[in-house]
Amino acid sequence: MPSILIVRGQLATPWELRPWLRLSERYEVSYLLSGSNRFAAPEGLRAVPARTLRDMLPGGTLGELSSAVLGDRYLDVSSAFDRADIVHAAELSFWFAAEAARRKQGRRFKLVQTVWETLPMMRAYRNHRARRNRDAVLRATDLFLPATERAAQALALEGVAAERMIVCPPGIDLARFGGSRGAGPIPAGGSAAADGLTAGGPAATRDTEEHTIVSPGRLVWEKGHHDVLRAMAALHRGVVTRPDGTAVKPRLKMVGVGPEEQRLREYAAELGLAGSVEIGGVPYEQMPGVFADASAMVLASLSVATAALHPFDMPRAFWEEQFGLVLAEAMAAGLAIVTTTSGAIPEVVAGTPAELVAPGDWMGIARALAAGPLSRPPASRVAYPSEVIERYSTDAAARRLEAVYDSLLSG
């Protein structure tokens, strides 16, 4: 069978690699797994142990700083690249993408790059090492797979011709998230009471009398959790009410870990929300239950581009939401969505009843919640177009990958 080698440095995640599990009957799929991989190893795929320079450095902040200065590279993976028919890496400026590009010389494999980045940073907004990586990747890659049309537009400005890219969205496990639902679905434009779906319907009613809002994502500034807290405070204090004028005081479940955790806890307390807010990580396998118990999910992503530099000539922050897998998961779960227009989000939720507000518009978040999910019974569901949900399924993503690989292997 043709051999596919997935290269992700320390960023091999079980959720991104799930579609490759569907390809095992036609391809020999493996991925490089470093000792410093930041996530749980994906199950079901063959892992090729691969040492990196980062594995040899100390742990924690000291190791990260040392890696930033020295760069990173694989130390003992030549045989894995020798055997591959296709090597599949990611992004333009990551070290592992550039290493795959450089190792292509003298080998037979075709090189594919998944691209999430939605900002064409060119050379001017990259550090000196990222500039070299970008040049190598642009030069050697046979086919780019932007995750969204917005990423494809960014690639076009980076100089990638249309025939060298195919938009290839990721996939999520529909059965996992769609199998545990709350109250019956509410057709777009309808209401629970009008449609007789406040209790029962195609799925079982959740036994809850309290509204819960979920704010998932790493606890960092750009995920906008602080704006969700502001929206909660506006609701709790009656600054924003439901259409009938009544106040509602939902609970907030902030799901994630990260450097902003302590400050978010302090902020929640200052806003008088400490007793109504839960902050912390949740195992991935428990997320369907979290969504099923919730009335809405808020993804309050912000665009960040400060142009400030670290001491090593690295841009401090250039980011906007590149996809938001939780959006696809929430749609599969029938969960109401309030989100922002950051980056690729409008594209991902296009044609759905998801509510969009401007990044940073915490009053808009509060109003959208009060007028929509918080005006219905707790844990009510929303109907999303089946074609949108299927587009983001693991099976659909696997079919897209299979078509790409077949095309490359056939020349």
Residue, of 193 and 360, whose pLDDT is higher: 360
Confidence of residue 222 (pLDDT cuts 50, 70, 90): very high
Confidence of residue 197 (pLDDT cuts 50, 70, 90): very low
The pLDDT of residue 284 is above 70: yes
Q: Hey, is 353 helix, strand or coil? A: coil
Q: Cα-flanking dihedrals φ and ψ of residue 23, to 5°?
A: -100, 5
Catalogue all structural domains in the chain, each as residue range(s) with its CATH number.
3-171+394-409 (3.40.50.2000), 174-391 (3.40.50.2000)
Amino acid identity, position 263: R
The C-alpha atoms of residue 334 and residue 328 are separated, in whole angstroms, by: 10
What pLDDT is recorded for position 181? 46
pLDDT tens profile 228-274 = 999 999 999 999 999 999 999 999 999 999 999 999 999 999 999 99
Mean of the pLDDT values across residues 118-143?
93
Q: What would the two tokens of residue 152 be?
A: 């494809």
Q: What would the two tokens of residue 34 be?
A: 């470093």
Secondary element (H or E) of residue 214: strand 212-216
What pLDDT is recorded for position 366? 98
Q: Give the CB-side neighbour count of residue 328, counting CA atoms within 13 A.
A: 27
Mean pLDDT value across the chain? 89
* Residue 355: how many other CB atoms lie within 10 Å: 21
Q: What would the two tokens of residue 165 be?
A: 């890219």
DSSP 123: T
pLDDT tens profile 342-396 = 999 999 999 999 999 999 999 999 999 999 999 999 999 999 999 999 999 999 9
Mean of the pLDDT values across residues 278-294?
94
pLDDT tens profile 4-31 = 999 999 999 988 999 999 998 999 999 9
Q: What would the two tokens of residue 358 be?
A: 């401007």
Q: Which of 200, 189, 243 is nearest to 382 (CA)?
A: 189
The C-alpha atoms of residue 349 and residue 383 are separated, in whole angstroms, by: 13
What pLDDT is recorded for position 312? 55
Q: What would the two tokens of residue 99 be?
A: 């290493």
What pLDDT is recorded for position 128? 86
Residue 213 forms beta bridges with which residues? 252, 296
The pLDDT of residue 149 is above 60: yes
Mean of the pLDDT values across residues 82-108?
97
